[in-house]
Amino acid sequence: MAYFPSTFPAVAPTLDDRHFWELCAARRLCFQRCVNCKTFRHPPAPFCPRCQSLASDWVEAPTVATIFSFTVVYHPSHSDAISAVPYNVVLVEFESCSGVRLVSNVIDESVDALTVGARVELAWDAGTGGQWLPRFRLLRLKQT
């Protein structure tokens, strides 16, 4: 079941970010990386912030990331969010990709379980219009 109602705002790709969403549609989470200096950047942008090169490629992100910060939204500030509260928003960090951060959600989880520093694992979730969106689940370390 999708984390948000099907009436939620849809992704409306722009010339700068459409490839990110095309890859997501194929359930591939990739970040843009400068071909010249290998610095990752997000959200997608035409120029490398480090060397201003226009040349970029797309590199598959690790499936595990870390919660850099999070909030739990109780007051909906969008009409489509009224039935969704309370819900969480997490900021996840990909250390091996120049520390790129992604705004997302942790699905199937009590909001009480979230902590800064927790490890999360990629879990594709259906967004509005059938667009696959990168969301996450808390990673539970297996007992050995």
- Binds another protein (CB under 8 A): choice among 37, 51, 54, 72: 72
Closest approach of Cβ 6 to another protein, in Å? Answer: 12
Q: Which is nearer to another protein, 57 or 95 (CB)?
A: 95
CA-to-CA separations, 1 to 23, 75, 107, 127, in angstroms, rounded: 21, 22, 10, 10
- Is residue 2 close enough to count as binding another protein by CB under 8 A? no
Q: Per CB under 8 A, which of residues 21..40 are in contact with another protein?
A: 21
Torsion sign across C-alpha atoms 17, 22, 25, 30: negative
Closest approach of Cβ 13 to another protein, in Å? Answer: 7
Kindly state the number of chain residues that form the binding site for another protein, as judged by CB under 8 A.
44
What the block records as the tokens of 80 is 């489509």
Of 101, 66, 100, 103, residue with least CA distance to 88: 103
The one-letter amino acid code at 58 reads: W
Q: Which is nearer to another protein, 110 or 144 (CB)?
A: 110
Distance from C-alpha of 75 to C-alpha of 79, rounded to nearest angstrom? 11
- Binds another protein (CB under 8 A): choice among 58, 69, 124, 139: 69
Of 133, 98, 137, 130, residue with least CA distance to 28: 133
Q: Which residues of the shown chain bind another protein in the complex (CB under 8 A)?
A: 4, 8-14, 17, 21, 41-43, 49, 68-75, 77-78, 81, 84, 87, 89, 91, 99-105, 111, 116-117, 127-128, 131, 133, 135
